[in-house]
Amino acid sequence: MTQPAPKQHWVGHADLDAFYASVEARDHPEYRGRPLVVGALPGHRGVVAAANYAARKFGIHSAMPIAEAYRRCPDAIYLPPDMARYSRVSRDIFRILETITPMVEPVSVDEAYLDLTGLERLIGSPETIGREIKRRILEGTGLTVSVGIGPNRLIAKLGSEYRKPDGLTVVHPEQVPAFLSPMPVASLRGLGRQTEKIFSRLGIKTVAQLRSLPLSYLEVQLGKRAAANFHQQALGIASAEVVPGRGRKSISRETTFEEDLLDQETLHAVLRRLTAKVAATARREQLSGSVVTLKIRFAGFETHTRQHRLTVPTHDERVILREAWRLFLHGKLPRKPVRLIGVGISDWQQPDSEPTQADLFEPPQKREKDDRLLETLDRVADRFGKGKLQLGYATKSERRKLR
Ligand SMILES: [Mg+2]
């Protein structure tokens, strides 16, 4: 008997072009073709949240101080962000993407991965699917999207970045090496400042150069884990798994320490950082979890998990952190140096379920206000990189540093 041919995976990455600015131009035809900047207003403190392509020609980009943008182009149209409107458009976009496949994994308000495997019979070739995604988004929302399609997530993402705006790039498996070769190593995922420095010291500029180096050499330079990661990426090897937002069972983050850690203040600070990421993902996917899980590993892979069930499901990092820390302190865990710490939430609330008893103890206005604050934080984080803004509960040592 012959073995069936292995199934070809196809992953798509869709990314709206200059999303906030494009929504403004769509809703105000008189702005079209003119440089347009969404963000703080000139004369005020603050930064650019989004700039359209006409404004980018002046060198204006996201996170640039608004004063600098104004200096470069005083004639641009400057608008404050209208987050409620952008969220509505975002929901339309996801609804349209789900007409292509239910396997849509949201990355941010205007970005998603799609599992396109097996759609050839239904829609057509990857090129046809890509054109179809673009057509449906344009007809449904009046906005352009750049789409990358390839055998895995890495290639799909690089594909959508390859030609922007309004791009479509399909990379077939046999084209992957040639597609990656000329790319700067900086286009690879997870390249931190430290690794960037090492690459530049070694004179590695392109993916082709990186690929030509033996893994053993990279291991000496970068350490085992990073070496394996970048070696794989240089070969175009990456996950093809797409996790649809509603399909996932839990959201969790964990981190392993290079040296085992006993200091509670540091552990609390790390847990807070992980919790912020978990909560941001949950909010982006509009999920609220009822169970908080803490995971702790000590030297020698001795691993413990502790769980707490909440009366009210949450995506609030303050609640998750409070419960996770309570589990750490009172979960009858041994007092030993910690190798790994992780936090997660699970057991989603049905979005349309009745409020539970405990909700009655908190006035609804307050909950809405909290949600708005958290959403604003998410958007700032999406735009300007994580870690710039956190809710105010600094640890003692951080407070000392701030003084
Ligand atoms: Mg975008």
Full 3-state SS string of 119-131: CCCCCCCHHHHHH
pLDDT at 135 over 70: yes
pLDDT at 108 over 90: no
Say which residue the tokens 């909290």 belong to.
Answer: 370
- Expressed in angstroms and rounded, the spacing between residue 19 Cα and the centre of ligand 1 is 5
At residue 185 the predicted structure's pLDDT band, cuts being 50, 70 and 90, is very high
In CATH terms, is domain 248-398 a member of 3.30.1490.100? yes
- Expressed in angstroms and rounded, the spacing between residue 109 Cα and the centre of ligand 1 is 8
pLDDT computed for residue 193 by the predictor: 84
Which one, of 247, 240, 179, lies nearest residue 10 by Cα? 240
CA atoms of 89 and 220, how far apart (whole Å): 48
Which residue ranges does the chain devote to CATH 1.10.150.20? 181-234
> 393-401: long-range contacts (C-beta < 8 A, 24 or more apart)?
393/272, 393/318, 395/265, 395/268, 395/269, 395/272, 396/265, 397/265, 397/269, 398/269
| Close Cβ partners of 311 (under 8 Å, ≥ 6 residues apart) | 356, 357, 358
Q: What is the DSSP letter of 18?
A: T
Paired residues of 296 in beta bridges? 304, 341
Which one, of 144, 156, 146, lies nearest residue 115 by Cα? 156
Domain 19-84 class in CATH? alpha beta
Mean pLDDT computed over every residue of the chain:
86
pLDDT at 370 over 70: no
CA-based torsion, 60, 66, 71, 73: positive or negative: positive
- Expressed in angstroms and rounded, the spacing between residue 9 Cα and the centre of ligand 1 is 24
CA-based torsion, 111, 117, 121, 122: positive or negative: negative
Using DSSP's 3-state secondary structure scheme, residue 15 falls into strand
pLDDT at 253 over 80: yes
Q: Given 1.10.10.10, 1.10.150.20, 3.30.450.20, 3.30.870.10, which CATH number is that of 181-234?
A: 1.10.150.20
- Expressed in angstroms and rounded, the spacing between residue 403 Cα and the centre of ligand 1 is 38
Query: Taking a C-beta distance cutoff of 8 angstroms, is the pair 377, 286 a contact?
Result: no
- Expressed in angstroms and rounded, the spacing between residue 65 Cα and the centre of ligand 1 is 20
Which residue ranges does the chain devote to CATH 3.30.1490.100? 248-398
111 is catalytic: yes
CA atoms of 17 and 50, how far apart (whole Å): 10
Select which of 111, 120, 241, 317 is catalytic. Answer: 111
pLDDT computed for residue 155 by the predictor: 98
At residue 371 the predicted structure's pLDDT band, cuts being 50, 70 and 90, is low
With vertex at residue 383, the alpha carbon angle to CA 43 and CA 149, rounded to the nearest 5 degrees, is 140
At residue 114 the predicted structure's pLDDT band, cuts being 50, 70 and 90, is very high
pLDDT computed for residue 313 by the predictor: 85
- Expressed in angstroms and rounded, the spacing between residue 15 Cα and the centre of ligand 1 is 5
Structural element, H or E, at residue 91: helix 83-100
How many other CB atoms are found less than 10 A from the CB of residue 47?
18
